[in-house]
A and B are shown apart, each in its own frame.
Chain A
Amino acid sequence: MSVEQPRYKLNEEVDFAIVGSGSAGGILAKELSTAGFSVVVFEQGPYRKSHEFTDDELGVLFYGELQGGGSRNNGQTFRADEGEVATVSPRQPADYAQTVGGSSVHFTGNFWRFREIDFVERSALGEISGTNFADWPITYDELEPYYAKVDWEIGISGEPGPNDAPRSKPFPLPPIPCSGSGVLMEKGAKKLGLTAQVEPHAILSKPFNGRMPCMHCGYCMWYGCKHGAKSSTLVSMIPLAEASGNCEIRAESAVFRVETNSAGRATGVRYFDPDGNERMQKAKAVILSANGAETPRLLFMSANERHPDGLANSSGFVGRNLMFNAHAAVNGVYEHPLNDYKGVQVSRIIHDFYESDPKRGFYGGGGLDARSLFSATPIFFAFAGMPPEGPRWGKAFKDEIAHNFTRQMSIVASTTSLPLDRNNITLDPESKDRWGRPALRMTYRDHDDDLAMAKFLQDRAYELHDAAGAEKFWRLPIEPATGSAHLLGTCRMGNDPETSVVDASHRSHDISNLFICDGSSFVTSGRGQPTMTIMALAFRAAELIGKAAKANEI
């Protein structure tokens, strides 16, 4: 792009300061800047381009190359219950990328739409005692045009499944060809009377909008795509925002406060620049798209005398109702090599258990996918891919990893999570991140129904391996989650200011020029792949926010 980014002055009141450049922030930046608004996007990580991404497993998986150095630098803490003292763990509870494009850079690219039921499940099923289970303030029909926009602007490959929600436009790109794990899932599904369907991907199967298609190199999950074929906002949206001439991407800039004035309006954001100096950017409106953990953290960090419990928190719902999607898996070893380390992680999924079924005796629904998982890269495989009872060193261990690596696949279950008061994001009273900001503290314990659903689907995964002819297959124990990359529900949208943080157009109930759009906006968790819905919400929010700005209603 030959258009140079504008450099807005700190005291120049830009139209929008957007915090976060990921799935939501990247889209909002592109939509608002191309509509003529001046935009500054704040990203705490560096600005890496596609050619800078590496296939270095040690760097990416262990050194937190794309995650700001991981837990050590970020200081996040975790506890299962509010009575406990949260501790820093090398296992980073809120797992997200710190790089321009955010977690859309390192996610796997699995891309499920929600269905109609996801938005109205509370009405359909009734109250679930002890939870904040609720309907969304919008329906699938209202969001569908924006799902279609995601398909066609971001670049999605796939074909409709038998039980998918209706779509107004076809997929722009055909499916990525089926891998061995997909073939085996189809075989197992057929025997069991289930339906294996094509996995939709935010990865290009053909050239699209001047971008290269997938080369099947296999470095999707956790890695940035060096080919630019993964449809991150880094490659699909940010270049268009920059080309507008109205958007400045301010990387390595960590926001620590949204400023508000006595009139109850946001006036801009305070941040650390790349040299660690405090700066303040003035803005007419602020949009938080920092993800479902960082957004509530920033609202808490922005507390002041007028907003002692954090900004936009008159409801007390900021940080609450954190949802992950529960998971379970079964590993299987097959007679012949699959070589599933090549290509995308997933090519077939089963959505026959999507809906909650009262006959199961618990709430929940979910999906199954066949994927390489552990057998995508060797260090990960050596650590976690082997059967539990096997040897862990010596000749027998070496022979087993050598035999299994190309012959193994996993069937992974992803399920609903219920929104609970006890699962939340707050500020840690002790721990700090590398900028000295109070670290985020996560409190989380799965609802029993979430784990029951994970168990139910794990049993189906076990049957699928058996039916597909696996020589050896084993369950991985289901344990309560201690963190996630899916960070949902912590500033939920709703019509009632007493039980939600933002309204149906993502405007905070309390502060009229403060908007929030990311995973925190979710009311329910969906069935396991939230990114597409985050992106659809962002396109819709951008349209509504842009309209309001043009009508001087911000």
Chain B
Amino acid sequence: MRPDRCVFNDDESISNMYDEMGAKTDTISCRNVIASAAGAQGKNNMNESDISRRQFLGAGSSVTLAKLLGLSAPALTAIVETAHASQQRGTFAALSTEDAADLAAVASRILPSDDTPGAEEAGVIYFMDAALSREMAGQKAMIVEGIAGLNQSIEGETRFADLAEDAQDAMLAGIEQLPFFNFVWTMTMFGMFSIPSYGGNKNYVGWKLLNFEGLQAAWQHPFGYYDRAINGEDSA
């Protein structure tokens, strides 16, 4: 047994994602600051009772990120490999092509493409698919059901991905407090901004969006506008 590599398989609500941010902040011991930030953005308010008409989206089930968050190192390697293989083949490991298109469409409304790249250009869907094919396999059913739920509420054979952006936004606005949406939101941020080896943030488009040059291992002052007066002209 290698205790350091065991995965603790508990079940936690997606809303605890934001608590998790608090935990990390504890390293600087501002956990309460972060928890407050999450709370202030309304992201903790996941226990709404009037969800019956949205049951199809999985609001009543225990949605979990725990397995993803508790991933062991070998599992991470596996995700990375899956993501790369999927991208090269242009196929998906966990999702059907149709479901992947719908899920990608949700991600694209969360971080749309306009004059700058969004979730689509970052390949967020490949991050999601890779994760759902491995350690988040337990969440795959919830995702598939969530997508099915979206499509069931659309008349005829039209799928979510086929809708106009305005119509997609209207649908998502109705479910933005639900675990399905929050789960996809979280995955979208991970896929947009994590290092590309996880399958998303292709060509660092997520980082470029923020003007974040996180790869450079060394910088010289001045760093920005306000320290030029004391640190000299920008040499970077």
Contact = CB atoms under 8 A, between A and B. Distances in A.
A378 B29 contact: no
B27 to A, nearest CB: 5
B26 A62 contact: no
Contacts of B157: none
Contacts of A215: 217-219
Interface in B185-212: 185, 189-190, 192-195, 198, 206-207, 209-212
A528 B29 CA distance: 9
Given A478-B36, A482-B35, A378 B4 contact: no
Nearest to A103: B27
A152 B225 CA distance: 34
Given A180-B224, A379-B189, A476-B37, A68 B219 contact: no
Contact of A179 (B42, B68, B227): B227
A116 B30 CA distance: 26
Nearest to A406: B211
Given A95-B31, A373-B28, A338 B109 contact: no
B32 interface: yes
Nearest to A254: B3
Contacts of B224: 180, 336-340, 342, 406
B229 interface: yes
B164 interface: no
A226 B4 CA distance: 22
A329 interface: yes
Contact of A91 (B4, B16, B39, B206): B16
B34 interface: yes
Interface string B4-15: 111111101000
A388 interface: yes
B176 interface: yes
B4 A405 contact: no
Contacts of B38: 383-384
A518 to B, nearest CB: 16
Contact of A477 (B27, B40, B193): B40
A69 B223 contact: no
Contact of B40 (A63, A106, A183, A388): A388
Contacts of A55: 195, 214-215
Most-contacted residue by chain A among B16, B24, B25, B211 (CB, 10 A): B24
Interface range for A = 35 or more
A465 to B, nearest CB: 13
A435 B6 CA distance: 9
Interface stretch (A14-22, A235-243, A394-402): A394-402
A75 interface: yes
Given A178-B231, A338-B225, A276 B29 contact: no
Contact of A252 (B4, B24, B195, B217): B4
Contacts of B23: 70-71, 89-92, 95, 483
Interface string A513-530: 000000000000000100
Most-contacted residue by chain B among A221, A435, A485 (CB, 10 A): A485
Contact of B229 (A183, A324, A343): A183
Interface stretch (B50-58, B70-78, B91-99): B70-78
Contact of B219 (A75, A217, A378, A383): A217
A436 B222 CA distance: 51
A480 B214 contact: no
A19 to B, nearest CB: 16
B88 interface: no
Nearest to B70: A72
Interface residues of B, number: 88
A341 interface: yes
A486 B172 CA distance: 41
A72 B75 CA distance: 15
A392 to B, nearest CB: 6
A484 B26 contact: yes
B195 A69 contact: no
Contact of B193 (A90, A274, A382, A435): A382
B81 interface: no
B112 interface: yes
B23 to A, nearest CB: 4
B218 A216 contact: yes
B220 interface: yes
A530 to B, nearest CB: 9
Contacts of A510: none
A386 B189 CA distance: 14
Contact of B39 (A106, A402, A477): A477
B212 A378 contact: yes
Contacts of A326: 32
Contacts of A528: 29
Interface in A382-422: 382-386, 388, 392-395, 397-398, 401-402, 405-406, 412, 414
Contacts of A345: 28
B169 interface: yes
A394 B110 contact: yes
A452 interface: no
A434 B6 CA distance: 7
A107 interface: yes
Contacts of A379: 189-190, 193-194
B220 A216 contact: yes
Nearest to B234: A339
Nearest to A59: B76
A380 B70 contact: no
A194 interface: no
Given A46-B4, A70-B69, A217 B217 contact: yes
A88 B10 contact: yes
B118 A480 contact: no
A127 B32 CA distance: 28
A473 to B, nearest CB: 14
A398 B209 contact: yes
Given A90-B23, A91-B26, A326-B32, 13 more contacts: A72-B8, A90-B16, A106-B27, A221-B27, A276-B1, A341-B212, A343-B219, A379-B193, A383-B18, A476-B34, A480-B32, A483-B26, A484-B31
12 contacts: A57-B195, A63-B70, A89-B19, A89-B23, A90-B66, A252-B2, A325-B29, A339-B211, A385-B37, A412-B30, A480-B32, A485-B26
Interface of B: 1-10, 12, 16-43, 65-66, 68-72, 76, 109-112, 114, 116, 118, 169, 172, 176, 185, 189-190, 192-195, 198, 206-207, 209-212, 214-227, 229-231
* Closest A-B pairs by Cβ, 4 of them: A72-B8, A336-B225, A388-B40, A95-B26
